[in-house]
Amino acid sequence: MRHFEGEFLADGYMDVPVALLAFFSVYLLLEDRSAQQSQSRQLLWFSALAAAAAALTKQSGVYILAIWPLLAWLLAARRADSLRPRDLWPPFVLALLFAGSFYLYRSVIIGQGLDSDNTAYLLGEIHRGRDMLQRLQNAWLIMGRYGYMFLVCLLALPWQKPALRWITLLVLLPFTLLWMLFYSYDERNLAIALPFAGMLAGAALERAIEFALSLTSRIPPRWVPAALLPLLAGLLLTTGSLALPNARLLAAQDAARREVFNPELNRQLYAYFEANGLEGQILTNYPVDFLPGLQGKQRSFWYNEADVFLSELNNPANRYLLVPANASDNVRELVRQRAAAGQIQPVFETQHGYLPFAYF
């Protein structure tokens, strides 16, 4: 999620919620397969409502709602004695009413000229003239090393359990292909596929481990001396320790922690403090306490009360301001006044969400 959401992960965008609701809807169908009769219909209804909630959260969630009857039939109703095909339609119709009423309202608003529809722009112009093949190539580059996780899901398709095979064929592969061809202008749009890819890749790994264990179980015990097993275990541990020493693991963890929340902002913060040093606290609602080297430097403030802001400015322990873009108008005006008077020195601005300043 951090790779695909980037700096938007903590900015309140709906990609993570829609992915959660879409995955929850399908998860409930999987649970329905082994549920008792008294719970089966409840799970079915909650699954349909979760699909409706996904569609209401973001347009990409409409995909899950559109294929829900087919998924429900293949994953739950066809496998459960307590469910029949006609049991699927009442929850699906209710889900359609919930989601459809909103989209009908939006279409009326757009038809009356009170809002605009940018669908044509997002499907065409935003791709900067790329044809379909070029979009596929660009999408593969965006996916980076995670593209191989999707390939694992595809290659494992013949060996997956039937339910997971249907999820691969109906959810993961079609949605990913739609994203690559039409919505890969932004990697965030792939969010729905990520939980499914993780689950299916994990299941593929599980099948591979089961296959490997089945092979080892065929080796007669007399062929493996008892003294050889602890020797092999010790060799593996020693090799692993040499290949991945503590210093290397800690350095990798430190580098990863520097990229959490808003990587762009983090890089600018580190660049500034490495060049100028860090003395005192940072007045901000951005969670700098979680960044390596900045622990204990955060003075939490939401930039919403002007009188409290003035009090914090007079606190000599606060040496830096990290002002969010959604700061109140009164607070932003005070910042502008102090900057104009030379009492606050602007340092840098970010593209998304924060307007940092330092003052001394």
Average pLDDT across each block of 10 residues of the chain; the chain has 360 residues. List them in order: 72 88 95 77 92 95 95 79 78 94 90 79 78 88 88 92 94 94 86 94 92 79 68 82 81 87 87 90 91 91 90 90 88 90 84 61
Q: Of 196, 321, 228, 306, which is closest to residue 269 (Cα–Cα)?
A: 321
Q: What is the pLDDT of residue 242?
A: 77
Q: What angle do CA 61, 62, 64 make, to 5 degrees?
A: 70
Q: Which residue has the tokens 């520097």?
A: 258
Q: What is the pLDDT of residue 41?
A: 83
169: which DSSP letter? I
Q: Which residue has the tokens 């997002």?
A: 122
Q: What is the pLDDT of residue 231?
A: 80
Q: What is the dihedral of CA 62, 63, 66, 68, to 10 degrees?
A: -110
Going from N- to C-terminal start, the domains of the chain cover 2-206, 263-358
Residues 6+ apart with CB under 8 A from 3: 144, 146, 187
Q: Are 67 and 55 in contact (CB under 8 A)?
A: no
Q: Which residue has the tokens 């007669």?
A: 220
Q: d(Cα 257, Cα 173) in Å, to the nearest integer?
A: 31
Q: Strand 354-358 relative to strand 298-300: parallel, antiparallel, unpaired?
A: unpaired
Q: What is the pLDDT of residue 28?
A: 94
Q: What is the pLDDT of residue 360?
A: 44
Sheet holding 345-346, edge to edge: 298-300, 281-284, 318-324, 354-358, 345-346
3-state secondary structure at position 133:
helix
